[in-house]
Structure 1
Amino acid sequence: MSTTPRPLRNVLFIMADQLRWDYLSCYGHPTLKTPHIDALARRGVRFANAFVQGPVCGASRMSTYTGRYVSTHGSAWNFVPLSVGQKTLGDHVRPHGVRCAVVGKTHVEPDVEGARRLGIDTTQGAGLLAMEGGFEPYERDDGILPAGFKVEGNRYCDYLRAHGYPGDNPWHDWANSGEDDKGHVLSGWEMRWADRPARVAEEHSETPYMTRRAMQFIEEQGDRPWVLHLSYIKPHWPYVAPAPYHAMYSPADVVPARRSQAERDDPHPVVRGYMDTDPSRSFSQPEVRERVIPTYMGLIKQLDDQLGLLFEFLRAKGIDQETLIVFTSDHGDYLGDHWLGEKELFHDAVVKVPLIVVDPRPEADAVRGRVVHELVESIDLIPTFLDALDLPQPTEWLEGASLQPLLHGQGAGPWRDAVFSENSYAFRDPVRLPLGRPVDGCLMTMVRTHRWKYVHYEGVAPQLFDLQADPDEFTDLGQDPAHAQVREQMAGRLFDWLRQRKRFPSITYDDIEQWNRREVQAGIQIGAW
C-alpha cells in the first residue's frame, strides 16, 4: 500500500502586508485577540521561527514568488523590476493546468525594458503574465501613490465610485483618509489622524472588498484546480481603519516598545542613519505610538474577522478539505522598537513573520495544533505548494525546501540551521550619504541561527547579537573582542551560503549529469591522441 499522500487540488496563499509576527493572539499578543487565525493554527501547524529573505515589501515578495534568495533573483528593493528571465509560482503550476491568480497586492515591478528588448507583447498572454510576476491579475491592488493622483482602471477605485465615493483617487480620499467635523479630508499619510475612522463604510473598505473578490474567484473555478494568492494590503500604512475598528483598541492595549537607551546612545552607524529617518523619529515619540498602534491593531482585528468569513465559506462548500491554506506576512513593522519605524533592517520585529499552514489530509492529523521551532524561510513556500499539488520540483530554480515533512510529522531530518535575509541602504540618503558609501557599496546581509544573529555590512563594521542571552537584541557585539571567534564563524557561514546559490537555472541538474555521457555517445572526441 502506497504511503504517498493524495495530491491536493488547490492552494490558498494568504499574505498580510507589514503584519508583525507577535501581533496575533496565537503568537502571544496580550491584548489583541485574533480567534479565527488562532483557529487556523489549531487546524494546522504554526511555525515559531519563519523568516523573510528581504525586509522590504518588494524584495521579500519576489523571493516568496520565485522561491529564490534576493541575490539570486536580483529584485533587491521596492520598484526594482523582476527580470522576465525569472520563473515564478505561476510558471511552475500553470503548465500543469492549475490556474494561478492574485487578489490584492504583489508589489511586482514589471521588467518593461527586458520585455521590449526581447520583443514581448506585454498586453496579453504570457507577456502580460510576465509583467504581473506570473499571477493572473484577477484583482490586483497595490495601493496608489501619491495622494490626489488621478486613477484610471483601478477596480477598487471604480467600485468605490460606484458606491458613492467620488473623485480622482477615492482609494486615498475615502478609504485611506479621515475627516474633521467640517468634512475636510484628513490624509491617512499623516499619522496624526490615525485615530479617525476611514471615510468609507466598513463593508466598502479594502479588506472586506478583497475577501469578497477572493470568494468570487473561488466560486468561479468549479472543478478546475487553482492557486490563489489573497494578498491583503493591510495593516500596512496608511494607518487608517474604518469604524468600528478604528476605536476597538486604546493606548492601554499598546505593549511597551522594545528598546533600550543604550541603543540610542551608541547605535551602529547604519542603524543611526535609519534612526534619523522620518518614520523612526515619529515612532520614537510615545504620542505617535499611542495614536497609531491601536489603529494598526484594529486593522488586524478586521483582517481576522474577514478571514473568519472566508474560512466559513470554504468549510460550507467543502473546499477546505481539498485546499492547502497558508497564512503569512511579507515582513513586520518596527512601531518604535529599537527607536525605529517602518522596516528595512534585520531585527526580529521585521524579518520574523507569522506562518501558519493547514494541510487537510489525514497524513497531517498527528501534528494539528503543533508549534514547529525549526528555522524556515519564505522561499520554502513554493516547494511546499508543489509538493501539495504533486507537481515536479525544479530544483535548478528553487532554493527553498518543502515544509511537507514538518506538516506531516515526519521529522525534518537534517534541516537547515541558519536563515538569511538581504537588503541595501542605497535607497536611503540619510543612511548612505553620512557614511560616504557608493550606491553599489550598501549591501547588508543577515545570517541567523537559533542562537546568533550576524549582519554583514559592506565597508562598515558588522553587528552580532546573542539571542540566547539577549533575545530583545539590545546589545550589539559586533566589535566586542570577546566575540571575535563567533563573528568569524558567522562570516564563514555567510560565505558558504553565497557559494551555494543556484547558478544554472536554465538547465536541469539531470541534463548536467547526462552531459558527458551524451558527448561520448555522440562520438565527440575532445583531446584524443
Structure 2
Amino acid sequence: MARRKNVLLIVVDQWRADFMPVLGADFLRTPNLDRLCREGVTFKNHVTTTVPCGPARASLLTGLYLMNHRAVQNTIPLDARHLNLAKALRQIGYDPALIGYTTTTPDPRANPGKDPRFSILGDLMEGFRAVGAFEPSMDGYFGWLAQKGFKLPENREDIWLPEGEDSVPGATDRPSRIPSELSDTAYFTERALTYLKGKGDKPWFLHLGYWRPHPPFIASEPYNTMYSPANMPAPVRKPDWQEEAGQHPLLDFYLRGISQGSFFHGAGGAATELSEESIRQMRATYAGLMTEIDDALGQVFEYLEQTGQWDDTLIIFTSDHGEQLGDHYLLGKIGYHDESFRIPLVIKDPEAPHSAGRIESAFTESVDVLPTILEWLGGRTPRACDGRALLPLVQQGKPADWRDHLFYEYDFRDIHYSQPETALGLDKDDCSLCVVQDEAWKYVHFSGLPPLLFDLKADPDQYTNLAADPAHAATVATYAQKALSHRMRHAERTLTHFRSTPRGLEERS
C-alpha cells in the first residue's frame, strides 16, 4: 500500500520576513517555528508577488501573477476560469479543507448582483471545504465566542480593546479584553485539531490560516507584555517624513493619507506622527502576536507527532504579505518597499531529511507554492502557472536555469478608503507598478508615473532614487528590458502549447 501523503499549508497574515529568528530576529521567541526551520528549508529571498491580502492570496492559490489573475485589489473579482489550488487538488483526489479565509470576491458573471458576497471585503475561494471559516465578516469566530459563553459587545470588534476602554490612543501594551484561550488564534487552532482528529487515517490537505499578526496591534495576556519595546529594532526612516515623501508621488500620497486608526483600534492621527517609542511598542505587540501563533502551532505539531503523521506531512509556513511597521513612516502593506513584499517561507519535506536546517538564498515567489504542493502529491503544474515547483531547491539544490531576479506588482487604483488614482490624476488602468529586483539593483516601473532605481549595495534601505540620473541611464534601460521580457515570458498561456496539425491536435511539452 502506498504511504499516505498529507499537506499542511500554514498561511499567517502580515508577517514580514525579517521577523524570523533564523533570519536574524534573535529577540523573538518562536520555538515551534524554529523547529520547523531546523527540520526544513528556510527561503531567505522570498516575496509575495503582490499586495494586499486578496490579490496576494489569489497569486498564492492560483500560481498566477497579478497581471494574469487580475484580482488587483481586495474587492476586485477573481475570474472563475482560473484554476486554483483547491480545484487542482480535487483533480488528484484530495478534498482540500480550509481554516481562515482567502479574501476572494466571486466572478459577477456567474453570480447574481444581489449576492451578499458583493457587500463584504471578500469570501472563500471556490473549491475549498470550509472547516473553520473566518469570513464573511468574522461570523465564524464571533459565533464560536458566543457558543463558548463569551458575551459579545454591541460592536463586536471591541473585543480587542482593553477592558473598560472604548478606543486606544495608539500603540499600547494594555491587554485585549479577550483572553488568550478565546482569541482568534485559539479559534483557528481548535478548528484545526478538530478537523485533523476527524480525518483519522485518511490523507488530507489543510490550509491553516491565522489572522495574526494582522492589526489591530493589541494582544491578549500574557502576549501583550512578553517583549520589551527597548529590545525591538528601530524603524528604518529618514529624520522627517517630508524627506521620504520627496522620493516619489505615490509615496507622497500615502505618507499624507495613512492614519493610525486601522492599526490601533479607535486611534486618531497620521502614521507619520508615530514616535520611535510608539513604533517600538507596536513592534513589541506584533512580536507577542507572533509568539501566540507559535504556541498554537506547537499544539498542532504535537498532535501530528503523537499520531505518527509528522513524517507523512509536507508542512509549508508562509504569509500573504508583510507589514511596513513604521519603516519609511508607513503602516500596512502598500507601494513598492521590501517590508511589504518580503515574507517567510519554510518547507519541511519529509522526503528530504538531508536538507534539514538549510537556508536557501535562491529567489523564490509566492506563485511557487501551488506547483510545489501539486508536484509533491504526484500532480502536474498547470500550463498557465507562473511559478515553479520548489522541490528541486529543497531536495537537490538550485537548478542551473533558476530565475535570476524577483518580480512583484502592485495596483493602486481607487478603493473606498483610499483614492490615489484621483489624487494623482491617473486613469485606473494606469495605476500599476512592477518591480524587478536582484542582489544589485531594484527597478520599479510605473504605467503612469516616473520610475525608481535603487542601488541595493550602496543603499540597502532604498532612500536614493537614481532613475533620473544620466549616469544610470543604461541600468534603467537594462532593468526596464528585464521587466518587459518578464511580462512577455509570463503572458497568459493556458492553451498556447496546443496546435492543430495535418495529423490532428498536438500537445507540446
Distance in 2 separating the partners of 1:191 and 1:371: 41
Distance in 2 separating the partners of 1:8 and 1:388: 12
* TM, length-normalised to structure 2: 0.89
Map 1:24-63 to 2 at 5 A.
Answer: 24-63=20-59
Distance in 2 separating the partners of 1:63 and 1:493: 21
Equivalent residue number for residue 65 of structure 1: 61
CA contact (8 A) 1:69 1:399 kept: yes
Q: C-alpha displacement at 1:238, in angstroms? A: 1.2
Kindly provide the CA deviation profile for residues 359-378 of structure 1, in whole angstroms up to 9, marking residues without a partner as x. Answer: 011xx122210110000000
Structure 1 residue 459 corresponds to structure 2 residue 443: no
Q: C-alpha displacement at 1:142, in angstroms? A: 4.2
The 4+ residue runs of structure 1 with deviation greater than 4 A are: 168-171
Could you say which structure has the higher helix fraction?
1
**Residue 416 of structure 1 aligns to which amino acid in structure 2?**
R
How big is the alpha-carbon RMSD for the aligned residues of Structure 1 and Structure 2? 2.4
Relative to structure 2, which stretch is displaced further, 267-276 or 163-172? 163-172
Q: C-alpha displacement at 1:65, in angstroms? A: 0.5
Map 1:474-493 to 2 at 5 A.
Answer: 474-493=463-482
Kindly provide the CA deviation profile for residues 52-98 of structure 1, in whole angstroms up to 9, marking residues without a partner as x. Answer: 11121111110000000011011001121111111100111112221
Q: C-alpha displacement at 1:31, in angstroms? A: 1.6
Say if 1:271 and 1:61 are closer, same or farther in 2 by CA, change over 3 A.
Answer: same
Say if 1:433 and 1:170 are closer, same or farther in 2 by CA, change over 3 A.
Answer: closer
Map 1:76-87 to 2 at 5 A.
Answer: 76-87=72-83
Equivalent residue number for residue 392 of structure 1: 380
Say if 1:107 and 1:380 are closer, same or farther in 2 by CA, change over 3 A.
Answer: same
Equivalent residue number for residue 198 of structure 2: 220
Of residues 20, 40, 44 in structure 1, which corresponds to 2:16? Answer: 20
Relative to structure 2, which stretch is displaced further, 14-23 or 248-257? 248-257
Q: C-alpha displacement at 1:225, in angstroms? A: 2.2
**Residue 309 of structure 2 aligns to which amino acid in structure 1?**
I
**Residue 93 of structure 2 aligns to which amino acid in structure 1?**
G
Q: C-alpha displacement at 1:262, in angstroms? A: 7.8
Structure 1 residue 275 corresponds to structure 2 residue 255: yes
Equivalent residue number for residue 120 of structure 2: none
CA contact (8 A) 1:272 1:431 kept: no
CA contact (8 A) 2:102 2:124 kept: no
**Residue 414 of structure 2 aligns to which amino acid in structure 1?**
F
Equivalent residue number for residue 371 of structure 1: 359
Kindly provide the CA deviation profile for residues 272-296 of structure 1, in whole angstroms up to 9, marking residues without a partner as x. Answer: 1111122473255214314422211
Of residues 410, 429, 441 in structure 2, which corresponds to 1:440? Answer: 429
Residue 374 of structure 1 aligns to a residue in which SS?
Answer: strand
Relative to structure 2, which stretch is displaced further, 420-429 or 330-339? 420-429
Q: C-alpha displacement at 1:216, in angstroms? A: 1.3
Equivalent residue number for residue 162 of structure 2: 178
Kindly provide the CA deviation profile for residues 325-363 of structure 1, in whole angstroms up to 9, marking residues without a partner as x. Answer: 0001111111111121111122211111111000011xx
Kindly provide the CA deviation profile for residues 283-319 of structure 1, in whole angstroms up to 9, marking residues without a partner as x. Answer: 5521431442221111011111111221111111111
CA contact (8 A) 1:48 1:354 kept: yes
Q: C-alpha displacement at 1:206, in angstroms? A: 0.8
Relative to structure 2, which stretch is displaced further, 212-221 or 44-53? 212-221
Structure 1 residue 314 corresponds to structure 2 residue 304: yes
Structure 1 residue 424 corresponds to structure 2 residue 411: yes
Q: C-alpha displacement at 1:517, in angstroms? A: 3.7
Of residues 166, 176, 200 in structure 1, which corresponds to 2:178? Answer: 200
In structure 1, the gaps of 5 or more residues are 1-5, 123-129, 145-150, 522-529
CA contact (8 A) 2:454 2:464 kept: yes
Map 1:274-423 to 2 at 5 A.
Answer: 274-279=254-259, 281-282=270-271, 284-286=273-275, 287-361=277-351, 364-394=352-382, 396-423=383-410
Relative to structure 2, which stretch is displaced further, 309-318 or 162-171? 162-171
Kindly provide the CA deviation profile for residues 226-274 of structure 1, in whole angstroms up to 9, marking residues without a partner as x. Answer: 2211110010011121111111123212211011248742221111111
Structure 1 residue 257 corresponds to structure 2 residue 218: no
Distance in 2 separating the partners of 1:35 and 1:479: 47
Structure 1 residue 167 corresponds to structure 2 residue 152: yes
Kindly provide the CA deviation profile for residues 352-411 of structure 1, in whole angstroms up to 9, marking residues without a partner as x. Answer: 1111000011xx1222101100000000001100111011222x2211000000110243
Residue 444 of structure 2 aligns to a residue in which SS?
Answer: strand
Structure 1 residue 237 corresponds to structure 2 residue 212: no
Equivalent residue number for residue 3 of structure 1: none
CA contact (8 A) 1:97 1:225 kept: no
* TM, length-normalised to structure 1: 0.86
Kindly provide the CA deviation profile for residues 4-31 of structure 1, in whole angstroms up to 9, marking residues without a partner as x. Answer: xx87611100011001111121221132
Distance in 2 separating the partners of 1:465 and 1:90: 38
Distance in 2 separating the partners of 1:283 and 1:186: 24
Structure with higher Rg: it is: 1
CA contact (8 A) 1:328 1:356 kept: yes
Q: C-alpha displacement at 1:320, in angstroms? A: 1.2
How many residues of Structure 1 are paired with residues of Structure 2 in the alignment? 484
Equivalent residue number for residue 266 of structure 2: none
Say if 1:178 and 1:453 are closer, same or farther in 2 by CA, change over 3 A.
Answer: same
Distance in 2 separating the partners of 1:331 and 1:131: 18
Distance in 2 separating the partners of 1:23 and 1:131: 28
Distance in 2 separating the partners of 1:354 and 1:433: 34
Map 1:517-528 to 2 at 5 A.
Answer: 517-519=502-504
Distance in 1 separating the partners of 2:432 and 2:354: 43
Distance in 1 separating the partners of 2:505 and 2:96: 42
